């Protein structure tokens, strides 16, 4: 965890070592105070290989598990998520993607958005998810 202090709030960058973090210059998650922002997350392993093949449900599950791991490293969990954004390459897959999202967030019920995009950074990726969390003080 990289840390850089500011005047009143400490910033914690959570990195996972994926091939894109260093090239693009981003962190998997950033915690500022009690707010945590998880970057767009696809179902890729540490080498960049897509988990779940061409199954939108399986890719969504893998992406949410990666989000959960990043939140846990930042001192939070899925129960702290207040917003998700889902970018999908085929909006017709919404039921499968939504089912996976609902299995993790059905009781939490964060605000959410799902939009279709023409493509993602890895051609095999079908879904990319961002999450914002707030940890109770």
What's the CATH number where 95 sits? Answer: 3.30.1330.40
What pLDDT shows up at residue 6? 42
How many domains does the structure of the chain reveal?
Answer: 1
Q: What is the pLDDT of residue 1?
A: 47
pTM of whole model > 0.75?
yes
What pLDDT was estimated at residue 48?
84
State the residue range of the domain holding 15: 2-134
Ranges in the chain, pLDDT < 50? 1-7
pLDDT of the residue at 21 = 82
Nearest-angstrom CA–CA distance, 114 and 84 = 9
pLDDT of residue 5: 44
pLDDT of the residue at 68: 98
- To the nearest 10°, report the CA torsion of 122, 44, 51, 84: -90
DSSP 8-class letter at 75: T
At residue 8, the pLDDT reads 52
């Amino acid at each position: 965890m990289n840390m850089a202090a500011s005047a009143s709030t400490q910033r914690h960058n959570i990195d996972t070592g994926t091939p894109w973090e260093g090239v693009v210059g981003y962190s998997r998650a950033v915690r500022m105070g009690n707010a945590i922002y998880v970057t767009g997350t696809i179902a890729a392993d540490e080498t960049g290989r897509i988990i779940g093949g061409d199954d939108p449900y399986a890719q969504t599950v893998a992406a949410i598990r990666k989000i959960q791991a990043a939140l846990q490293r930042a001192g939070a969990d899925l129960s702290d998520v207040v917003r998700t954004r889902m970018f999908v390459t085929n909006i017709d897959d919404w039921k499968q993607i939504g089912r996976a999202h609902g299995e993790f967030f059905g009781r939490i019920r964060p605000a959410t958005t799902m939009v279709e995009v023409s493509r993602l950074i890895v051609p095999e990726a079908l879904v990319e998810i961002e999450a914002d969390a707030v940890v109770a003080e």
